[in-house]
Amino acid sequence: MMMGSERILAQDDIIVSKTDTKGRIQYANRTFLSIADYEERELLDKPHNIIRHPDMPRTIFKVLWDHIRDGKEVFLYIKNSAKNGDYYWVFAHVTSTFGETGRVVGYHSNRRAPERAAITDMTSLYRELCAVEAAQGGRKEGLAAGEGLLNDKLKAAGMTLDEFVFSYASDERAVG
């Protein structure tokens, strides 16, 4: 686990970034630059995973990429790293950007402050997913095991991924 202090977004802060289809940052707003502690020149044309926190399970990013590559939006809770080792949680909404021909030409993400209860539950879930991923014989097997565990938890809760994510807007926290 990476150590560092938690940075907390203000309730009205919105982090915005845009990437190309390979996930390289093409735009980062001031809020993104400020909380991640980067200069714009340090982020442009860099992979968005430059801010990936090591506590994040690969399973969550597979889910994200599966959705946006298919042109669907996805909402997820993400723990990111600042340049100095601090971290911050976001409630992310990621969408595909379509060109004139209807083809995906990039991705757009808006991130807001998550509910604190979501952070507690996501920390536990993500720790479990990371452990399952690490316990397998290889990366591919770990990813399959993590995705299987996530799907099993959603099925047991009788929820889709969207229902689970949005359950934090109410008091129905049923996946654990």
Angle of helix 139-157 versus helix 58-69 axis, rounded to 10 = 80
Closest by CA position to 118, among listed 160, 170, 155, 154: 170
Residues 109 and 126 both lie in one domain:
no
Going by pLDDT thresholds of 50, 70 and 90, the confidence category of residue 172 is very low
pLDDT at 168: 80
Distance between CA 33 and CA 82 in Å, rounded? Answer: 9
Domain coverage including residue 38: 15-114
pTM summary value? 0.91
- Does the pLDDT of residue 171 top 60, yes or no? no
For residue 174, being part of any structural domain is answered with: no
Check pLDDT > 70 for residue 142. Answer: yes
Give the tens place of pLDDT for each residue, 25-82.
Answer: 999 999 999 999 999 999 999 999 999 999 999 999 999 999 999 899 999 999 999 9
Query: Of 114, 143, 165, at which residue does a domain stop?
Result: 114
Task: Tally the domains of the chain.
Answer: 2
First CA to last CA across the chain, in angstroms? 21
91 and 148 share one domain: no
Whether 51 and 134 map to the same domain: the answer is: no
Average pLDDT, integer, range 1-19: 89
Residues 69, 21, single domain; the answer is yes
**Phi, psi dihedrals of residue 22, rounded to the nearest 5°:** -95, 0
Which is nearest to 92 in space by CA: 16, 168, 20, 2? 16
Partners of 52 in the beta sheet? 80
Q: Is residue 5 part of a domain?
A: no
153's CB contacts (< 8 A; 6+ apart) are 125, 175, 176
Determine the Cα–Cα distance for residues 149 and 157; give it in Å rounded to an integer: 12
- Mean pLDDT, range 128-139, rounded to an integer: 95
Residues 118, 101: Cα–Cα separation, whole Å: 38
pLDDT at 106 over 80: yes
d(CA 81, CA 88): 6
